[in-house]
Amino acid sequence: SEIRKRLIEAFTNAGDEYLSGQFLAEIAGCSRTAIWKHIEELRKEGFVFEAVKKKGYKIIQAPENVTADEISFGLKTDFIGRAIHYEEEVDSTQKIAHRLATEGAVEGTVIVAEEQLSGRGRLDRKWHSPKYSGIWMSIILRPNLPMQKAPQLTLVTAVAVVQAIEEVTGLLPQIKWPNDILISGKKVTGILTEMQADADRINAIIVGIGINVNQKQDDFPEEIQQIATSLAAESGQNMSRARLMQAVFARLERLYQTYLKEGFFPIKLLWESYALSIGKEIIARTVTGDIYGKALGITEDGVLNIQQANGEIVQVYSADIFINE
């Protein structure tokens, strides 16, 4: 918001001085109550304030950002994350990635934003992407593959993100087919893979990854309170988003190269080792109806095999999975 921008500017200029509510209200052109609300908003974004009676406020810690500089420092990959397109605020990083991919962006280009105003999930669902507290990014890949292989890259990415989270936080996430990463049964990451194809070859794959990192449990909007979590909520610690991004890039680059060289099989084994639903009774909610049965595993194509009560095995290409307990 314009007001918060003015506040941050004032605090920047003030250096070590405290700024009174009255003063802030004047420069921002609003009431002191409004100032207090904006300061609360800034707290949610990761700013830490010191408030002293009769003196006012001072910012003692600003949130860490995920600018190109912060991500590049210490990055150990050859191509993923070597080109970074950073924005403070976007509609959706997917949209920018599609445009850059069309314009010829190199493989491994990453588009990252501090906030998404209309972050999206599958089937036009919304992805809540508040400022500074998560990783909202899209990665451009250009594998030389036929287009029916594209869904496998969602699974390659899921394994990479699980390994990166494990490495950085020590938490043990699980994968819910096809694209959710859960901790204690709640969604911490969503992956959205989209494709640009010419004839039947892939021109670019846009891998969208949303990771909830530093949100507090009650920062989530009401409608996803019960189903969403963040790494900080699970571990009790805030963490550096830039560092986690570096880990995701390194893991993804390795797995992606293995996948291109050796095919899907090694990825499939890893994926199944992290999978939550394999061997369980599930409900697969598809656009054409619900399928009940036991999740047997995934095929070479990343398709989910479900065995129904009558023994028949059905292949599910796209669905939302619920464990049927």
Residue 76 engages ligand BTX in binding (rule: CB under 6 A): no
What the block records as the tokens of 191 is 């992956």
Number of alpha carbons in the 13 Å side-chain half-sphere of residue 241: 26
CB atoms within 10 A of CB 267: 23
Residue 284 engages ligand BTX in binding (rule: CB under 6 A): no
Site track 205-244 with ligand BTX (rule: CB under 6 A), x = hit: ---xxx-x-----------x---x----------------
Nearest partner of 24 among 61, 59, 57, 50, judged by Cα = 57
Residue 127 engages ligand BTX in binding (rule: CB under 6 A): yes
The residue from 21, 121, 266, 297 that contacts ligand BTX (CB under 6 A) is: 121
Smallest distance, Å, CB 241 to ligand BTX? 13
Q: Which is nearer to ligand BTX, 180 or 234 (by Cβ)?
A: 180
56-61 and 174-176 beta bridge pairing: unpaired
Strands (E), the chain: 48-52, 56-61, 84-90, 110-116, 134-141, 174-176, 180-183, 186-198, 201-212, 281-286, 289-298, 304-307, 313-316, 320-323
Residue 138 engages ligand BTX in binding (rule: CB under 6 A): yes
Smallest distance, Å, CB 73 to ligand BTX? 22
> CA 295 to CA 235: how far, in whole Å?
30
> CA 211 to CA 214: how far, in whole Å?
9
Scanning 23-31, 38-46, 126-134, 252-260 for contacts with ligand BTX by CB under 6 A, the matching segment is 126-134
Scanning 26-34, 37-45, 116-124, 231-239 for contacts with ligand BTX by CB under 6 A, the matching segment is 116-124
Residue 277 engages ligand BTX in binding (rule: CB under 6 A): no
Q: Which is nearer to ligand BTX, 116 or 246 (by Cβ)?
A: 116
In this structure, what is the dihedral angle of CA atoms 252, 255, 257, 258, given to the nearest 10 degrees?
Answer: 180
> CA 27 to CA 177: how far, in whole Å?
51
CB 231 within 8 A of CB 213: yes
Smallest distance, Å, CB 70 to ligand BTX? 18
Binding positions for ligand BTX, 150-209, rule CB under 6 A: 179-180, 187, 190-192, 208-209
Return residues touching ligand BTX (CB under 6 A): 92-94, 116, 119-122, 125-129, 136-138, 179-180, 187, 190-192, 208-210, 212, 224, 228
